Amino acid sequence: MEIARDVEKALSKLVRDPVVTIIVTSFVGPYAEQIRVIGEAAKPQSLPYKQKMTVLDVMIAVGGLTDFADGNSASITRVSEGDSRYSVRLKDLIKRGDISANVEMKPGDILIIPQGWF
């Protein structure tokens, strides 16, 4: 409501008695509780963290790996642990179904998927 009133106020200089409705269509959550996926994901993006979220859940949400991804060289940077970096075998998980590669995500994690060198 507050944003709608601010927009109405700004529009009142151009339009007589504007009526504005704001509809939130998506919400990623507070910055510290987002999971960010960068690099060779099909759709790199920020995702809202959910309890018990795993790297498999994240990969489903971003549409998997690109053809150029080096999935087994991917890593998770865990901001909550002082930018600790952990290796993750995405190719084994996605292509071979190796569930042992499915690790739990934490709020603020950054999944980095590098490009492979052929």
Q: What is the DSSP letter of 115?
A: B
| Single pTM value for the model | 0.76
User: What distance in Å separates the CA atoms of residue 46 and residue 69, rounded to the nearest whole number?
Assistant: 19
pLDDT in single tens digits along all 118 residues of the chain: 899 999 999 999 999 999 999 988 777 777 788 999 999 999 999 999 999 999 999 999 999 999 999 999 999 999 889 999 999 999 999 999 999 999 999 999 999 999 987 6
Domains parsed from the chain with CATH numbers: 28-113 (3.10.560.10)
